Structure 1
Amino acid sequence: MEDIIIKDVDLERSENLQRHKTDGFSSSKSLVVRRGATFRISLQLGGRPFNHTTDSLRVKVMLGRLYVIMPVTFCNKVSSTKWKAYMDQDNLDPQNVSIYISSPSTAPVGLYGFQLSLFSQGSKRARTYGKFILVCNPWCPEDSVYIPFEDQKEEYVQNDSGLLFMGTTMNLVSMPWSFDQYEPGVLEACLNLLQVSPQHQHNRRGDYLKRNNPVYISRVVSAMINCEDDRGVLKGNWSGDFKDGLNPSVWTGSGDILRQWAQSSYSPVKYGQCWVFAAVMCTVMRVLGIPCRVVTNFNSAHDTNGNLTIEEYYSEKGEKLKHSNDSIWNFHVWVECWMTRPDIGVDMDGWQVLDPTPQNRSGGVFCCGPSPVKAIKDRRTDLLYDVPFVCAEVNADVHTIIVSQGRVVGLNKDTEKVGSLTCTKAVGFPRMQRITGDYKFIKSPTSTISSRSSGTSDDSTLRRDSSRGVFVSLNLDKAPVAGEPISFTVKVMNKQRVAKTMTMHLNAQAKEYNHSPSDTFWQMQGLIQLAPMEVKTLTHQILPAQYEDVVGDNLINLAVVLEDRASDKRVLATEEFNISSPQLNIQISDEDSIVPNKEHTAVVTFTNPFSHMVSGVLTIAGAGLVQGKINFRMLPLHPGGKVEQRITFTPSMVGMRMLQANLSLININSTIRGFKMVSVNRA
Structure 2
Amino acid sequence: TEGNLRLRLVNFEHKENHISHETQGLSENHLVVRRGKPFKLTLMFGGGTWNPRTASHLLMLGSPFIFCKLIFIEAPSKSGDLQRWSAAVHPGESRSQSVTVNICSPVLSSVGVYQLVVQIETMQNKQTYAVGTFILLCNPWHQDDPVYMPVKEQIEEYVKSDYGWVYFGSSANVQSRPWLFGQYESGVLEACLTLLQVSPQHQRDSNKDYILRTDPVYLSLVICAMINSKDDQGILLGKWDNDYSDGVKPTDWTGSADILQQWLSSKFKPVRYGQCWVFASVLCTVMRVLGIPSRVVTVFDAAHDTNANTTIEEYYTTTGEKLGWSRDSIWNFHVWVECWMRRSDLSPGFDGWQVVDPTPQELSRGVYRCGPCPVAAIRERCLLVPYDTPFLYASVDGDVHRVIVDNGHVVGETLDSKAVGRLICTKSVGSSCLSNLTHSYKGLKSKKALITKPKARQTSAEPTPMSEDEEMSLTIEGSPVFGKNISFCVKVTNRSSQMRTLRENFSTQLKEYNRNPQHSFWTAHKEISIQPYKDLTLYHTLHYSDYESTLAADSVVNAAVVLQDPRTNESILSAQEFSMSCVPIEMEVKRHQTAHVTFTNQLDKVLSGAVLSVEGSGLLQQKQETRLVYSQSVIQL
Greater alpha carbon shift after TM alignment, 40-49 vs 578-587: 40-49
Q: Show structure 1 runs of 5+ residues with no match.
A: 445-459, 594-599, 646-683
Distance 2:224 2:326 in 1: 28
Give 1:519's aligned amino acid.
Answer: H
Does 14-23 or 505-514 show the bigger shift? 505-514
Matched with 2:321 is: 319
* 1:316-355 pair list within 5 angstroms: 316-355=318-357
Q: Equivalent of 1:611, from 600, 604, 607?
A: 604
Counterpart of 1:501 in structure 2 is 501
Mapped pair 1:577 → 2:578: yes
Q: 1:226 to 1:77 in 2, by over 3 A?
A: same
**1:608, 1:637 within 8 Å by CA — same for their partners in 2?**
no
- Tell me which of 583, 607, 618 is aligned to 1:624: 618
Residue of structure 1 equivalent to 2:106: 104
Measure, in 1, the Cα distance between the counterparts of 2:127 and 2:181.
Answer: 46
What is the match of residue 486 of structure 2? 486
| Distance verdict in 2 for CA 1:442–1:603, change over 3 Å | farther
Partner of 1:200: 202
How many Å separate the matches in 1 of 2:540 and 2:127? 89
Give the C-alpha shift of residue 159 in structure 1.
Answer: 0.6
CA distance in 1, matches of 2:445, 2:540: 32
Alpha-carbon displacement from aligned partner over 1:118-165 (angstroms, at most 9, x marks no partner): 222263145342100001000011111000000110000011110011
Residues 195, 26 of structure 1: alpha-carbon distance in 2 compared, 3 angstrom cutoff: closer
Aligned match of 1:67: 67
Q: Which moved more, 1:387-396 or 1:122-131?
A: 122-131
Supply the distance in 2 between the matched residues of 1:65 and 1:534 (Cα, whole angstroms): 78
Counterpart amino acid of 1:623?
S
Which amino acid is 2:143 matched to?
P
Q: Which runs of 4+ in 1 moved over 6 A?
A: none
Mapped partners of 2:14, 2:469: distance in 1: 75
Instruction: Give TM-score, length-normalised by structure 2.
Output: 0.94
**1:241 corresponds to which of 235, 238, 243:** 243
Which whole-Å CA distance do the structure 2 matches of 1:547 and 1:220 have between them? 44
Aligned length: 617
Q: C-alpha offsets along residues 174-200 of structure 1, whole Å, 9 cap, x if unaligned?
A: 111111111011110110100000000
Superposed CA offset, 1:569-617 (max 9, x none) = 1111111111211121111110xx6xxxxxx421111111222111312
Distance 2:581 2:348 in 1: 43
Q: Give the aligned residue type for 1:585.
A: E
| Structure 1 position 88, deviation (Å) | 1.4
**Is the partner of 1:611 in helix, strand or coil?**
coil
- Which residue number in structure 2 is paired with residue 534 of structure 1? 534
The CA deviation at 1:252 is 0.6
Equivalent residue for 1:396? 398
> What secondary structure, in the 3-state scheme, does the structure 1 residue paired with 2:628 have?
strand
Matches of 2:468 and 2:49, distance apart in 1: 99
How far apart are the structure 2 equivalents of 1:298 and 1:223? Answer: 23
Distance 1:545 1:16, change over 3 A: same
Structure 2: tracts of 5 or more residues without a match: 447-461
1:265 alignment partner in structure 2: 267
| Alpha-carbon distance between aligned partners in 1 of 2:463 and 2:600, rounded to the nearest angstrom | 51
Distance 2:268 2:481 in 1: 41
In 1, the alpha carbon distance for the partners of 2:51 and 2:223 equals: 48
Q: Secondary structure of the equivalent of 1:348?
A: coil
TM-superposition CA deviations, 1:93-129 (whole Å, max 9, x none): 2212111110010000001001112222263145342
Query: Displacement of 1:90 after TM fit?
Result: 2.8
Aligned to 1:514: 514
Q: Once the 2 structures are TM-superposed, how far is the Cα of residue 633 of structure 1 from its aligned partner?
A: 1.4
Correspondence for 1:255 among 257, 269, 272: 257
Give the AA of the match of 1:196.
V
Corresponding residue number in structure 2 for 1:422: 424
Distance, in Å, in 2 between the alignment partners of 1:618 and 1:278 is 25
Asked whether the 8 Å contact 2:117–2:128 carries over to 1, the reply is no
Contact 1:4 1:125 in 2 (8 A): no
For the 8 Å contact 1:138–1:289, the answer to whether it is kept is: yes
Post-superposition shift, 1:637? 5.0
Q: Answer whether contact 2:110 2:210 (CA < 8 A) is retained.
A: yes
Q: Which 10-residue stretch deviates more, 546-555 or 127-136?
A: 546-555
Q: Which residue identity lines up with residue 206 of structure 1 in the other structure? A: K
The yes-or-no answer on 1:408 pairing with 2:410 is: yes
3-state SS in 2 of match to 1:257 = helix
Provide the rounded CA distance (Å) in 1 between the counterparts of 2:441 and 2:565: 40
Residue aligned with 2:325, SS? coil
Q: 8 Å contact 2:562–2:572 — kept in the other structure? A: yes
Within the alignment, does 1:225 sit opposite 2:217 as a pair?
Answer: no
The two structures have a TM-score, normalised by structure 1, of 0.88
Between the aligned residues of both structures, percent identity stands at 45
Partner of residue 156 from structure 1, selected from 155, 158, 168:
158
Q: Is the 8 A contact 1:472 1:573 kept in 2?
A: yes
8 Å CA contact 2:27–2:186 kept in 1: the answer is no
8 A Cα contact 1:340 1:346, kept in partner: no
C-alpha RMSD of the superposition: 1.7
Deviation per residue, 1:245-278 (Å, 9 max, x gap): 1111111111111111111111111111111110
Amino acid at match of 1:568: N
Residues in 2 aligned to 1:404 and 1:71: alpha-carbon distance in whole angstroms: 81
- Aligned residue number for residue 280 of structure 1: 282
Deviation (angstroms), 1:81: 2.0
The answer on whether the counterparts of 1:472 and 1:492 sit within 8 Å (CA) in structure 2 is yes
Equivalence for 1:88: 90
| Residues 65, 210 of structure 2: 8 Å contact kept | no
Please show how residues 12-31 of structure 1 align to structure 2 within 5 Å.
12-27=13-28, 29-31=29-31
Q: Distance in 2 between matches of 1:217 and 1:91?
A: 37
Counterparts of 1:288-299 in structure 2, within 5 Å, are: 288-299=290-301
Structure 2 counterpart of 1:38:
38
Given that residues 292 and 340 in structure 2 are in contact (C-alpha distance below 8 angstroms), is that contact kept between their aligned partners in structure 1? yes
- Helix, strand or coil for the counterpart of 1:23? coil
Contact (CA 8 Å) 1:482, 1:609: kept in 2 or not?
no
In 2, Cα distance between equivalents of 1:186 and 1:6: 33
What is the CA distance between 1:442 and its match in structure 2?
5.2
* CA distances 1:519-571 after superposition (whole Å, capped 9, x unpaired): 22211111111122221112221122222332211111111111112222111
- 2: CA distance, partners of 1:435 / 1:67: 44
Report the 3-state secondary structure (helix = DSSP H, G, I; strand = E; otherwise coil) of the residue aligned with 2:202.
helix
CA contact (8 A) 1:278 1:333 kept: yes
On the 8 A contact 1:480/1:486 being kept in 2, the answer is: yes
Residue 247 of structure 2 aligns with an amino acid whose one-letter code is G
Amino acid at match of 2:498: V
Partner of 1:648: none
Paired with 2:348 and 2:226, the residues of 1 have a C-alpha distance of 28
- Structure 1 residue 443: Cα displacement: 7.5
2:9 maps to a residue whose letter is D
Distance in 2 between the 1:505 and 1:214 partners?
Answer: 53
- Shift in Å at residue 477 of structure 1? 2.0
User: For the residues of structure 2 that align with 1:358 and 1:18, how far apart are their CA atoms?
Assistant: 38
Give the match for residue 678 of structure 1.
none
Q: What is the CA–CA distance in structure 1 between the aligned matches of 2:178 and 2:444, rounded to whole Å?
A: 29
CA distance in 2, matches of 1:161, 1:69: 40
Counterpart residue type for residue 331 of structure 1: F
Deviation at 1:66, TM superposition (A): 2.6
1:351-393 Cα offsets, whole Å, 9 max, x none, are 1111101111112111111101111111111221111111111
Aligned-partner Cα distance in 1 for 2:93–2:564: 90
SS for the counterpart of 1:376 is helix
- Supply the distance in 2 between the matched residues of 1:105 and 1:637 (Cα, whole angstroms): 63
What does the per-residue CA deviation read over 1:483-529, in whole Å, with 9 as the maximum and x for residues that have no partner?
32211211111111111111111111111111111222211111111
Partner of 1:633: 627
